[in-house]
Amino acid sequence: MNKKERYAALIEHFQVAMPEAETELRYGNPFELLVAVVLSAQCTDKRVNIVTEKLFQDFPTPEHLANSDFDSLFPYIRSVSYPNNKTKHLLGLGKMLVEEFQSEVPQTVNELIKLPGVGRKTANVITSVIWHQPNMAVDTHVFRVSRRLGLAPLTAKTPLEVEKHLIRHIPKEHVHQAHHWLILHGRYTCLARSPKCSACSITHLCKHFERGLRAKRKKDPLPLTPSDDNPKP
């Protein structure tokens, strides 16, 4: 199976298996998603959703963040990873949205990455989820699953390298959803330490699984079976 065939087969599979795949972060508008994604860095979506329930009630707009301070905001997000830095990021993000973007979340990656706490991955998430732009956010799940499946080569050592491979081969109309397909597959099936290969329905398309089979056969070769030319004595 060549790369083009592998991509086509996986897209076809996920379209059937995960037709409604979407982010598991809870949000009601672009501003809320932006805040949630900033908080989700090296933190679980489950934890972020717990935190943002109260946060969004008391800080529903960029103005609320812009007019707040560290001591007021920190208690809301103290249970997420790196709360000190993220508190500072959200305060700066709110001020910049108000002062430079008329309190609107910008719609381009180049503008979004100007915001405190927003890198390329976060910007790609916002633009793909909200506006279905063909941008691919590569987090730890997408990075791992893409290389295991064979969508990106093992020689791809950075998220940007993997992103370029995925963007090159996935049709534009599927990119925004492919991000969720790969994340969810990595989160629930293709786990980092113990992938659930026995419960996976795409092992026949997976290079990692194929390599494992080859290694096992090399270590424990199958016994020769009798044939018509070599009858059993």
Q: Is 190 annotated as a binding residue?
A: yes
Rounded distance, CA 106 to CA 81, Å? 26
Region at 3 (left for phi over 0; alpha for psi -120 to 50; beta for the rest): alpha
- The active-site residue out of 121, 164, 219, 220 is 121
Which string of DSSP letters, residue by residue, matches 80-110? SSSHHHHHHHHHHHHHHHHHHSTT---SSHH
13, 151 in Cβ contact below 8 A? no
Structure tokens at 146: 């893409």
Residue 139 annotated as catalytic? yes
91, 70 in Cβ contact below 8 A? yes
- The active-site residue out of 45, 46, 139, 219 is 139
Which string of DSSP letters, residue by residue, matches 155-211? T--SHHHHHHHHHHHS-HHHHHHHHHHHHHHHHHTS-SSS--GGG-S-GGG-HHHHH
The label of the residue with tokens 């927003």 reads: 118
Rounded distance, CA 224 to CA 222, Å? 6
Q: Is 43 annotated as a binding residue?
A: no
Q: Would the CA dihedral through 165, 169, 175, 181 be positive or negative?
A: negative
Rounded distance, CA 76 to CA 72, Å? 8
Residues classed as catalytic:
121, 139
Binding residues: 190, 197, 200, 206
As annotated, the binding site for [4Fe-4S] cluster includes 190, 197, 200, 206
